[in-house]
Amino acid sequence: MKPSKLVLSILPETLAICRLEKESPVPEWALEASFFSITRTGQELSIVCTQLNVPEGVKLEGGWRCLKVEDTLDFSLTGVIASLTMPLAFEGISVFVLSTYDTDYLLVKERSLDKASSILSQNGHLVIDQQKKT
């Protein structure tokens, strides 16, 4: 089954993608936000969290904004990420993708957020920016 129009909301925080050593403990500062993701592999501890929480000296790529797919996605759906990333890739917009049990999150650089939102809208998706609502 393929996805139809997706509803995405823009989360308010500016996020950072951090890299720590694989044996590092999960730091408390990473857990102090409403949105964070932690992944440990054999090579690294990767943390996505609010940029303001990251202390000086931590290796990071900052300036990311997050678009959340507002629907609970069934595991049988195919092409969800492709429907979001392909139009952006065609326009040269880099993405970082996170998935949870319920849904997907698409991170784009803050400087590309307006363009990404416009492209996604042009491709049939609805992008809602809660901060711009009156």
pLDDT in tens, 39-53: 999 999 999 999 999
Q: With a threshold of 0.85, does the pTM exceed it?
A: yes
Does residue 29 surpass a pLDDT of 90? yes
Dump the DSSP string for 37-98: EEEE-SS-EEEEEEGGGSPTT-EEEEEEEEEEE-SPPPTT--SHHHHHHHHHHHTT--EEEE
Structural domain range at position 117:
7-128
Does residue 132 surpass a pLDDT of 60? yes
CATH number at residue 59: 3.30.2130.10
Q: For position 31, what pLDDT does the model report? A: 96
- How do residues 55-84 score in pLDDT, each as one tens digit? 999 999 999 999 999 987 877 777 889 999
Q: Is residue 109 part of a domain?
A: yes
Does residue 133 surpass a pLDDT of 70? no
Q: Count structural domains, the chain.
A: 1
Q: Is residue 32 part of a domain?
A: yes
Rounded to the nearest 10°, the torsion over CA 129, 131, 132, 133 is: 90
Q: Is residue 2 part of a domain?
A: no
DSSP state of 131: G
Does residue 87 surpass a pLDDT of 50? yes
Q: Is residue 45 part of a domain?
A: yes
